[in-house]
Structure 1
Amino acid sequence: MSREANTQRRLGRIMWILAWGLALALLTWYFQQKLVQDHNPNQQVQRLDAQTIVLKQNRQGHYLVSGELNEEPVVFLLDTGASQVAIPQAMAARLHLVAGQPLQLHTAAGAVTGYRTRVKSLSLGPFTLYDLEAVIMPADSSEILLGMNALRQFELIQRGDQMTIRR
């Protein structure tokens, strides 16, 4: 076999390896985006009008929605069983929230110690709430629980796998 044929063969193998690597990278990216979309189908809030938004449930039956807390991007988990907005400790540190008075909290996981804090602004789609009480929770979650002290300011209507929120 000639030297030129060996070089072409080696180049062909390298091209196949690069093509398979590119295909694998594209598939990985696609499925990662699909997982993110399945976890939070409300990354872009669907507005019906200036005072109404519609959220879709994720595969676990929860309502997650992208929003802002103190003008920083966050993900909210709507929780009608929570009395207040609850922020995981790591996220509270990232948002520079001041931990105030400690308090005993009763959660599904048992009693824990949390800390009172205040949120300057909370934005959900076209809605912004100001000066809300919140608690800092010892949790590893990446979502902020949107409790009833925020949700009671809206009309919530659940039908099927959608929730309509109206101000």
Structure 2
Amino acid sequence: MNKETRDQRRLGRIMWLLVWGLGMALLTWFFQQKLAQDYNPNQQLQQLDARTIVLEQNRQGHYLAGGSINGEPVVFLLDTGATQVAIPQAVAARLGLEVGQELRLSTAAGAVSGYRTRLKTLSLGPFTLYDLNAVIMPADSDEILLGMNALRQFELIQRDGQMTLRR
């Protein structure tokens, strides 16, 4: 086998490795997108009119949606069992929220210590709420529980895996 043939075979192997690597990268990207869509099917909010949005339930039966607090992007988990908007400590630090008075919170996992805070703005799709009470609590999640002090400002209708919010 001459040098030219060996060089061509070597180049051929390198090309196959690159094709396989690119294929694996594309498959990884595709499945990451699929997992993100399954986790939060409301990355693009469906707006029916100026006063109404519709959220799709995720595979776990929860309603998640992107929004913002004080202009910073966040992910909300709609929680009708939460009295107030509840923000994990790490997210509150990222948002630069002021830590107020300490208080005891009753959660599904038991009693924990949290802190009062105020939100200048909370936005979900076309809706913006102003000057809301919230609590900062210890949590491993990045999701903000959108509690009843925010949700009571909407009419909520849940049907067939969708939740309609009308203001």
Identity %: 78
Match of 2:134, as an amino acid?
A
Equivalent residue runs for 1:68-79 within 5 Å: 68-79=68-79
Q: Deviation string for 1:111-148 (max 9, x for gaps)?
A: 00000000000000000000000000011111000000
Q: 1:40-55 to 2 correspondence within 5 Å?
A: 40-55=40-55
SS in 2 for 1:48: strand
Q: Which residue of 1 aligns with 2:16?
A: 16
- Secondary structure of 1:94's counterpart equals helix
Matched AA of 1:61? G
Q: Does 2:107 align with 1:107?
A: yes
What SS does the corresponding residue of 1:133 show, helix, strand or coil? strand
CA distance in 1 between partners of 2:107 and 2:160 (Å): 27
- Provide the TM-score with structure 1 as the length reference: 0.99
Instruction: State whether structure 2 residue 110 is matched by structure 1 residue 116.
Output: no
Give the equivalent residue in structure 1 for 2:148. Answer: 148
Task: Give ranges in structure 2 of 5+ residues lacking alignment.
Answer: none
Residues 18-65 of structure 1: CA deviation (Å, up to 9, x unaligned): 000000000000100111111111111100000000000001000000
Counterpart-to-counterpart distance in 2, 1:163 and 1:16? 48
SS in 1 for 2:93: helix
CA distance in 1, matches of 2:3, 2:43: 56
Which residue matches 1:67? 67
Over the aligned positions, Cα root-mean-square deviation in angstroms equals 0.4
Aligned residues: 167
Local SS of the residue matching 1:22: helix
Match of 2:93 in 1: 93
Question: 4+ residue runs of structure 1 moved beyond 6 angstroms?
Answer: none
CA distance in 1, matches of 2:48, 2:135: 31
Query: 1:143 corresponds to which letter in structure 2?
Result: E
Equivalents in 2 of 1:68, 1:43: separation in Å? 13
What residue is the counterpart of 1:6 in the other structure? 6
| Partner in structure 1 of residue 125 of structure 2 | 125
